[in-house]
Chains A and B, each alone.
Chain A
Amino acid sequence: DQQVKQNSPSLSVQEGRISILNCDYTNSMFDYFLWYKKYPAEGPTFLISISSIKDKNEDGRFTVFLNKSAKHLSLHIVPSQPGDSAVYFCAASPYNTDKLIFGTGTRLQVFP
């Protein structure tokens, strides 16, 4: 039973355009959400997070949007750069526990 789902295994975007990565969740007890980026042969690295009390958080080229009623979050990367090519994971943490559940990942390729 996958509680955090990333339904697009891959995404290809031209350099300079916007990349939009999507994530859906099923557990209404999740209250903290994060996005991670992973290059081959390395551990995931933290990108950006959002608490359930917000609906948007920005950090430079990265913006995360949270739609609680739809149980959906998205990561926008503008403008996309070739160095953004990686696998992106969303993750969610249930209220009042230390668990952090990850999605299956989306491979982003940014081409020139």
Chain B
Amino acid sequence: NAGVTQTPKFQVLKTGQSMTLQCAQDMNHNSMYWYRQDPGMGLRLIYYSASEGTTDKGEVPNGYNVSRLNKREFSLRLESAAPSQTSVYFCASRRDRLGSPLHFGNGTRLTVT
């Protein structure tokens, strides 16, 4: 039972490059989330998807796009990376909002130089 799997674990990009962070869950959860964690800022919500086919902006969506490819997969794309996007990115999922907690992946550490 893998839970929430994120790839890659580490990535270094140059300013202006693009990349996609992948996330998959095997728990048949409806909702999926992308967060970034920065020192002193806690976990900030980038985008979330309440169900397959829907996505919504979180607290810090600028510079990112997402795709809910199917119920299992939720990807995060940086079209033109900036140093301010250097962060640790966490994907999470939960069954639904009614009394169920988020389950997190182990994160992707992204450095943009």
Contact = CB atoms under 8 A, between A and B. Distances in A.
A37 B12 CA distance: 27
Interface in B43-61: 43-45, 48, 50, 56, 58-59
Contact of A104 (B35, B41, B102): B41
A9 B39 CA distance: 11
Contact of A43 (B48, B59, B92): B92
Interface residues of A, number: 25
Interface in B6-48: 31, 33, 35, 40-45, 48
A49 B43 CA distance: 17
Which of A34, A44, A46 has most chain B Cβ within 10 Å?
A44
A93 interface: yes
B22 to A, nearest CB: 15
A99 B4 contact: no
Contact of B48 (A6, A91, A98): A98
A98 B31 CA distance: 7
